[in-house]
């Protein structure tokens, strides 16, 4: 491993990823690191640079497909408590990049701070949510974020204000960094009203997304003014299957991994839908699911 040898306690070689992604597919990653502090994280990033190992960051794996043969390089997971903290100082809240979006949404609503309850139902971590500017019909990360603390892959740490970041639909300029924490500015509101709103949004979400226990992922971004799910249904793909990869009946923008599914099945299904959507309904679907 070279310089990475110094981090043996927190770096595992040839680590399985199928237990770390929602699709539960794919081969091992060359190295998996779970740093216990920001200093250790910086040390690992610098060691990767010196050893010529590509570093990346893995959140909760809800938007990730790892190839059957596995992935090269080192994946960092922000699982240590120091990266998962949520600190409320009304009307602001600072959340660690490894904290779960659901926990942030409920914690802020309980504290009587409105805004992030609209993100309930988005699986995954705050870090990925901010970097990908994840959104629902009710809210987006971009709307409430005030500043972000990031680590660049060269080991530099920076504090960025919202104006330093370019946010787009399902994308941001933070995708080339590791979001360590984010500060949000919210609006004080009656906690009981917020709890009701949160519950309402949650019920609607449950009706429109597949059961998360099924092993699923969202496939494409919504094209401007349209829903990817409707386009996929219009192109005739509701319930379609390649190998073990199945287009969800409930929401056709989701792929479900049935028994025996391989990552390759998912890739082939995504490619087929993309081509057919272009030919049958004249729309260019952009992949949301990241592939390693
Ligand atoms: C059932 C279901 C429902 C979903 N609903 C929504 C929805 O309503 N709206 C929506 O926008 N998305 C939705 N998604 C997609 C997914 O949940 C989001 O993209 C989520 O933000 C991914 O978070 P994660 O921690 O699981 O990221 P991962 O899947 O682990 O990683 C995804 C990408 O983010 C990068 N990343 C991870 N952590 C960080 C970090 N700390 N800093 C920088 N980059 C990072 C990774 O390198 C990777 O490129 C849904 C997915 C599922 C399975």
Give yes or no for residue 18 having a pLDDT over 90. Answer: yes
For 111, which DSSP code?
T
Element (H, E) at 273: helix 263-281
Give yes or no for residue 134 having a pLDDT over 70. Answer: yes
Calculate how far, in angstroms, residue 3's C-alpha sits from the geometric centre of ligand 1: 30
Mean pLDDT, rounded, for 166-181 = 95
Calculate how far, in angstroms, residue 122's C-alpha sits from the geometric centre of ligand 1: 8
Domain boundary among 57, 77, 97: 77
Same domain, yes or no: 256 and 194: no
Nearest CA to ligand 1 atom 18: 63
Same domain, yes or no: 110 and 172: yes
Probe target for ligand 1 pocket from 19, 62, 75, 248, with the most ligand atoms within 8 Å of CB: 62
Give yes or no for residue 1 having a pLDDT over 70. Answer: no
Q: Is residue 245 within 8 Å of residue 191, measured between CB atoms?
A: no
Domain boundary among 175, 206, 237: 206
The percent of residues in the chain predicted with pLDDT above 90, rounded, is 89
pLDDT at residue 225 in the model: 86
69's tokens:
């043969």
* Mean pLDDT, the chain, whole residue set: 95
Same domain, yes or no: 144 and 195: yes
Looking at the CA of residue 210, tell me the nearest atom of ligand 1.
1
Domain boundary among 148, 181, 206: 206
Computed on alpha carbons and rounded to an integer, the radius of gyration of the chain in Å comes to: 19
Q: How many CB atoms lie within 10 A of CB 212?
A: 12
Same domain, yes or no: 216 and 191: no
Q: How many domains does the chain have?
A: 3
- Give first-to-last CA distance, the chain, whole Å: 21
**Residue 248, φ and ψ in degrees, nearest 5:** -60, 140
Q: Tell me the CATH number at 38.
A: 3.30.43.10
Q: How many CB atoms lie within 10 A of CB 260?
A: 8
Q: Tell me the CATH number at 175.
A: 3.30.465.10
Calculate how far, in angstroms, residue 190's C-alpha sits from the geometric centre of ligand 1: 30
Q: Show the CA angle centred on residue 118, arms to residues 66 and 93, nearest 5°.
A: 90
Measured CA to CA, the distance from residue 283 to residue 278 in angstroms comes to 5
Same domain, yes or no: 173 and 284: no
Summarised one tens digit per residue, pLDDT across range 238-289 is 999 999 999 999 999 999 999 999 999 999 999 999 999 988 888 899 999 9
Nearest CA to ligand 1 atom 6: 122
Q: Tell me the CATH number at 239.
A: 3.90.78.10
Mean pLDDT, rounded, for 4-32 = 96
Give yes or no for residue 25 having a pLDDT over 90. Answer: yes
Nearest CA to ligand 1 atom 21: 129
Looking at the CA of residue 177, tell me the nearest atom of ligand 1.
43
Pocket of ligand 1 from Cβ distances under 6 Å = 22, 56-64, 78, 97, 121-125, 127-129, 131-132, 134-136, 174, 178-179, 209, 212, 216-218, 290
Same domain, yes or no: 108 and 197: yes
Measured CA to CA, the distance from residue 138 to residue 131 in angstroms comes to 18
Summarised one tens digit per residue, pLDDT across range 202-231 is 998 888 887 766 699 999 999 988 999 999
Domain that holds residue 268: 210-291
Q: Is residue 261 within 8 Å of residue 25, measured between CB atoms?
A: yes
Probe target for ligand 1 pocket from 122, 180, 287, with the most ligand atoms within 8 Å of CB: 122
pTM: 0.95
Calculate how far, in angstroms, residue 2's C-alpha sits from the geometric centre of ligand 1: 32
Looking at the CA of residue 97, tell me the nearest atom of ligand 1.
41
Calculate how far, in angstroms, residue 260's C-alpha sits from the geometric centre of ligand 1: 24
pLDDT at residue 288 in the model: 96
Calculate how far, in angstroms, residue 63's C-alpha sits from the geometric centre of ligand 1: 5
């Amino acid at each position: 491993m070279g310089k990475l040898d110094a981090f043996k306690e927190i770096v595992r070689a040839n680590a399985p990823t199928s237990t770390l992604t929602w699709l539960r597919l794919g081969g091992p990653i060359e190295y998996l690191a779970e740093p216990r502090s920001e200093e250790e994280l910086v040390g690992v990033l610098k060691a990767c640079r010196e050893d010529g190992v590509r570093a990346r960051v893995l959140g909760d794996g809800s938007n990730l497909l790892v190839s059957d043969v596995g992935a090269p390089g080192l994946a960092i997971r922000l699982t240590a408590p120091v990266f998962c903290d949520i600190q409320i100082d009304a009307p602001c809240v600072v959340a660690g990049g490894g904290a779960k979006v659901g926990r942030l949404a409920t914690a802020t609503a309980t504290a009587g701070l409105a805004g992030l309850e609209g993100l309930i139902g988005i699986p995954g971590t705050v870090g990925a949510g901010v970097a990908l500017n994840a959104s629902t019909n009710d809210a987006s990360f971009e709307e409430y974020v005030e500043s972000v603390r990031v680590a660049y892959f060269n080991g530099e740490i920076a504090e960025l204000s919202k104006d330093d970041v370019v946010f787009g639909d399902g994308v941001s300029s933070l995708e080339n960094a590791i979001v360590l924490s984010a500060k949000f500015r919210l609006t004080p509101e009656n906690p009981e009203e917020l709890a009701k709103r949160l519950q309402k949004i949650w019920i609607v979400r449950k009706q429109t997304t597949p059961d998360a226990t099924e092993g699923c992922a969202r496939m494409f971004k919504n094209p401007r003014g349209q829903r990817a799910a409707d386009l996929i249904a219009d192109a005739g793909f509701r319930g379609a299957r390649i190998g073990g990869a199945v287009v969800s009946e409930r929401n056709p923008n989701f792929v479900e991994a049935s028994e025996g599914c391989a990552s390759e099945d998912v890739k082939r299904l995504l490619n087929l839908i993309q081509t057919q959507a272009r030919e049958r309904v004249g729309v260019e679907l952009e992949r949301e699911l990241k592939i390693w």
